[in-house]
Structure 1
């Protein structure tokens, strides 16, 4: 029987299991020494910025917005072509998400469309480094500086990505990462907020822990956004393997790009390092192609079939041509590190057929 090829393959090895057992036996389970060590080690990926570990990528983005005072009356510009959490984090602050169109090549926020969306109520921009390709951060940060806006990077899919030698997450005022099981590295579940600002980092640490600088002292109204030491221990193990896993993803992507025909393969812009959280092709015959791959026991994904501006939760009328086209054509193929050369050959054969 043909072995199925899955779209994602979360890695759980002996090292991860041993780390979990070690923490459970220590009985130090939440926001302890493992969390502190994970934060310190993750900082090496983001130019030594402050790292604040939290319970999910969604919470990471929400707390970053809160830490910069985003709230009712504010508008925040973001792409409609992204996972719902990007907009939800904005909405939960009381601010209004404003959707702008994407670059048709990278699927990331288009700077010209962003500039056109700025109003007197705009307070922040959220560039999403979608699928592992960095957004046009040079132009977006310059635009934000011109208008006095905060830049909060959604780097949930971009650990290991870079642009011009700067890592994703080290461009804006703050950034949010996710460690959900299907990400390039996971921590069972969890997130990380990154910032270069000392006072913002302090505010983030208060916000994640009920606003308490010390037990039962409430300096501000906070949340329960703490990361467990179990999750942090797994994250630390995964972090050590991340460089080799990223290289494997990039090698697999190179093979697919070289050998696939009849579809549009993902470009990598000059000076960009693509982390390939997803390997996303485009096809006018997506549904037929997806069915062909399914018959070959190859799992695929559509990220994302309904742009957020058309979802019932938001329902904003908007003319986002590139967003609509991408939603109708994109298809994610397996690219994870556990693929074999035989798996890649099967994917190529099925797509060509």
Structure 2
């Protein structure tokens, strides 16, 4: 029987997830499926609990764990799955719960951006700002949207030949006075502490292409126009300098 537990935004050590895993008896000899697209706190929590993190690929639209990838990663040692809701999109929790029921897995949910939650008015303004940007941006791939998207971060893609294209685009946008940031610089499975020789193509593609543009509820129309102008003035993708 699976257990679906909502985990509040953890400390930097993600002790909430550690405690949930330990309380469920997850520990030495167990595997816990997690995403490599994000910060390392969840993988650290699995190690702290005494288990082994196993990385599964993400859905390219939601940036959350892919249900198909999780299902493919389940083994006789799998004890739990930790799904992180990312950028305001929710992981496919219903499917993960069904998978957990079939395999007897603990299913934990973690809200990455709970600290940014706002009242309904702020949420609607943020959604309106996201719609404004999505209707006017060119040269980037805008978010897929979807029911319930709260746009905690407005994440676009700058596709091309890899990281230099996205990074050059980001530098050019910042030079025009628009704050932007790379949400995930290095996938967890490529960090020295958690290095795994595993193919996670959607995770690595997202790490190379994604860029978070400002979409705060407090932004003015003029500020939104500045974001659009800065991005569209680049005339498409920038090529890396050699």
Note whether the superposition's TM-score is higher than 0.5. Answer: yes
| Residues 31 and 79 in structure 2, CA contact (< 8 A), matched pair in contact too | yes
- Kept in 2, the 8 Å contact 1:86–1:154? The answer is no
- Alpha-carbon distance in structure 2 between the residues aligned to 1:287 and 1:54: 29
Deviations for 1:259-288, whole angstroms, at most 9, x for unmatched residues? 11121111123xx20121111000123122
Q: For 1:74 and 1:138, how far apart are their aligned partners in 2? A: 23
- Segments of 5+ residues of structure 2 without an aligned counterpart are 160-164, 234-242
Once the two structures are superposed, the pairs formed by residues 34-73 of structure 1 within 5 Å of their partners are 56=11, 58-73=14-29
| 1:246–1:112 distance in 2 versus 1, CA, 3 Å | same
1:142 counterpart = 2:98: yes
Residues in 1 aligned to 2:8 and 2:56: alpha-carbon distance in whole angstroms: 29
Q: Give the whole-Å Cα distance in 2 for the aligned partners of 1:78 and 1:59.
A: 16
Match of 1:281 in 2: 156
| Structure 1 residue ranges, 4+ long, deviating more than 6 angstroms after superposition | 49-55
* Distance change (3 Å), C-alpha of 1:88 and 1:123: same
Q: What does 1:215-226 align with in structure 2 at a 5 Å threshold?
A: none
SS at match of 2:212: strand
1:268 is matched with which residue: 127, 145, 151? 145
- 1:74 aligned to 30, 40, 44, which one? 30
Who is 1:132 aligned against? Answer: 88
Matches within 5 A, 1:247-326: 247-269=124-146, 272-284=147-159, 285-326=165-206
Q: What CA deviation, in whole Å up to 9, does each residue of 1:59-92 have, x standing for no partner?
A: 2222222222221111100111011112111111
Specify whether residues 143 and 53 from structure 1 end up closer, same or farther in structure 2 by C-alpha distance, changes over 3 A only. Answer: closer
Q: Which has the larger radius of gyration?
A: 1
Instruction: Check 1:262–1:321 CA distance in 2 against 1; reply closer, same or farther (3 A cut).
Output: same
**1: distance between equivalents of 2:175 and 2:222?**
17
Gaps of 5+ in 1: 1-48, 160-178, 186-240
Contact kept in structure 2, 1:262 and 1:352, CA below 8 Å: yes
In 1, the alpha carbon distance for the partners of 2:47 and 2:141 equals: 34
Report matched runs for 1:16-35 at 5 Å. Answer: none
Structure 1's 148 and 258: CA in aligned 2 closer, same or farther, altered over 3 A? same
Partner SS, residue 83 of structure 2 = coil
**Aligned pair in 2 of structure 1 residues 102, 66: CA closer, same or farther (>3 Å)?**
same
Corresponding residue of 2:45? 89
Q: Secondary structure at the match of 1:99?
A: strand
In the superposition, the TM-score normalised over structure 2's length comes to 0.86
